[in-house]
């Protein structure tokens, strides 16, 4: 069972595997496959709740999903992804929201979309015993400011800002860092600059680990980011089962004798 310390020590050693999960069933499948880290992503908003973005997701929703994932997980490290405006508005409120994921839901750590304003919060949370995974590059909670889910860190200045913030979050105590949708050569430089592991999504092969959204990986999404890869076709599997069920009900093949029971005493009932 990897702890935050064991994940930190995987930097430069073994590739860290991380996937999202939003419910106990999926978490149990992801966990049994030996995945190192399960992220209760705020991507639940678009992946599982029908929203267009991650912005509407609430603290209560992430808390509820985190509890479910924890109950479905035996071995993996469970990280709760703090939703839009659950941190950064007010420090004590931020700490309460993050603390709740550990204290009430059993998460091992939280992830916070990082900026220069989260350095101090990361330090405070770490010092209180709430391990923090940082997140730089494309931070989808800033979609309205960025104007889309565009590649980040593409100019020397933007790349330098990311390297600087990565260093500052490591110094503040973050135990790992997600790097999203940045050039592979920038991700390599960040990985070299840090002692803590980098976990990439659309950040090339040079990171210490990789993360993707489970729906994209198993083939449940109706769209995926260009950097994702479908490793299965669960949507067709499910559609096939549902069609067979509908056909069986319509034809009268289901339920059959083995799905039904009869009581002799009831035969005379009028
Ligand atoms: N199902 C799912 N998978 C994800 O990987 C994911 C989410 N949801 N939700 C939160 C964020 C959003 N992500 C995304 C979404 C779209 C692009 C994308 O299509 N980028 C294109 C177009 C950018 C634009 O012009 O808007 C690109 O070429 O960069 C990238 C990352 C990654 N995350
Ligand atoms: C893709 C990962 C890093 C994420 O933040 C999410 O799933 O919400
Ligand atoms: Mg997220």
Residue 12 structure tokens:
């430069």
Q: For residues 38 and 77, what is the distance between their CA atoms, to the nearest angstrom?
A: 6
Within the chain, residue ranges assigned H as helices are 4-9, 24-32, 44-47, 59-72, 91-103, 118-128, 143-146, 156-172, 184-193, 214-218, 234-251
Ligand 2 pocket at CB < 6 A: 20, 39, 41-43, 81, 178, 180, 201, 211, 213
- Largest CA-CA distance found in the chain, in angstroms, rounded: 86
Question: What residue owns the CA closest to ligand 1's atom 10?
Answer: 43
The model's pTM is: 0.97
At residue 169, φ and ψ (nearest 5 deg) are: -75, -35
At residue 15, φ and ψ (nearest 5 deg) are: -70, 130
Mean pLDDT of 256-270: 93
Q: Is 221 annotated as a binding residue?
A: no
Partner residues linked to 25 by β-bridges? none
Residue 89 structure tokens:
């508005």
User: Does the pLDDT of residue 84 top 90, yes or no?
Assistant: yes
Among the bound ligands, the one closest to the CA of 20: 2
Q: For residues 71 and 73, what is the distance between their CA atoms, to the nearest angstrom?
A: 6
Q: Does residue 54 line the site of ligand 1, with CB under 6 A?
A: yes
Q: For residues 249 and 253, what is the distance between their CA atoms, to the nearest angstrom?
A: 6
At residue 16, φ and ψ (nearest 5 deg) are: -80, 130
Residue 23 structure tokens:
């419910």
Q: Does residue 200 line the site of ligand 1, with CB under 6 A?
A: no
Tell me what pLDDT residue 269 has: 87
Predicted confidence (pLDDT) per residue in 134-143, tens digit? 999 999 999 9
- Using pLDDT thresholds of 50, 70 and 90, give the confidence band for residue 226: very high
Q: For residues 6 and 197, what is the distance between their CA atoms, to the nearest angstrom?
A: 11
Give the Å distance between the CA of 84 and the centre of ligand 3. Answer: 9
At residue 112, φ and ψ (nearest 5 deg) are: -130, 130
DSSP code of residue 50: -
Q: From residue 260, how far is each of 159, 191, 248, 254 by CA, in Å?
A: 65, 60, 15, 10
Map out the domains of the chain as residue ranges: 4-233
Predicted confidence (pLDDT) per residue in 32-75, tens digit? 999 999 999 999 999 999 999 999 999 999 999 999 999 999 99
CATH of domain 4-233: 3.20.20.60
Q: From residue 139, how far is each of 7, 71, 130, 150, 232 by CA, in Å?
A: 22, 28, 21, 10, 27
Number of the ligand 1 atom closest to the C-alpha atom of 221: 1
Mean pLDDT of 174-202: 98
Mean pLDDT of 171-186: 98
Residue 257 structure tokens:
């004798």
User: Does the pLDDT of residue 231 top 80, yes or no?
Assistant: yes
- Using pLDDT thresholds of 50, 70 and 90, give the confidence band for residue 270: confident
Mean of per-residue pLDDT scores for the chain: 97
Q: Burial letters for 59-95: b for 16+ Cβ neighbours within 10 Å, e otherwise? A: bebbbbbbbbbbebbeebbbbbbbbbebbbeeeeebb
ipTM confidence? 0.98
Tell me what pLDDT residue 157 has: 98
Mean pLDDT of 94-118: 98
Number of the ligand 1 atom closest to the C-alpha atom of 45: 9
């Amino acid at each position: 069972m990897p702890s935050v310390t064991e994940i930190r020590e995987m930097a430069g050693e073994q590739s860290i595997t991380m996937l999202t999960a939003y419910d106990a069933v999926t978490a149990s499948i992801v966990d049994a496959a030996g995945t190192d880290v399960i992220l209760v992503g705020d991507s639940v908003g678009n992946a599982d709740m029908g929203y267009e973005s991650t912005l509407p997701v609430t603290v209560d929703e992430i808390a509820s999903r985190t509890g479910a994932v924890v109950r479905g997980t035996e071995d993996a490290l469970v990280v709760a992804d703090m939703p839009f405006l659950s941190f950064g508005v007010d420090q004590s409120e931020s700490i309460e929201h993050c603390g709740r994921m550990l204290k009430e839901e059993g998460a091992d750590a939280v992830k916070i979309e990082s900026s220069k304003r989260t350095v101090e919060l990361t330090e405070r949370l770490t010092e209180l015993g709430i391990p923090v995974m940082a997140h730089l590059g494309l931070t989808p909670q800033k979609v309205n400011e960025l104007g889309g889910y565009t590649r980040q860190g593409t100019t020397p200045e933007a790349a330098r800002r990311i390297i600087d913030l990565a260093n500052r979050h490591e110094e503040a105590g973050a135990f790992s860092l997600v790097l999203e949708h940045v050039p592979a050569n920038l991700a390599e430089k960040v990985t070299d600059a840090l002692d803590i592991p980098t976990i990439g999504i659309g950040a090339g092969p040079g990171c210490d680990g990789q993360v993707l959204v489970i729906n994209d990986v198993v083939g449940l999404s109706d769209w995926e980011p260009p950097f994702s890869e479908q490793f299965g076709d669960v949507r067709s599997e499910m559609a096939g089962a549902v069609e067979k069920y509908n056909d069986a009900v319509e034809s009268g093949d289901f339920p059959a004798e083995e799905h039904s029971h009869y009581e002799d005493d009831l035969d005379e009932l009028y």
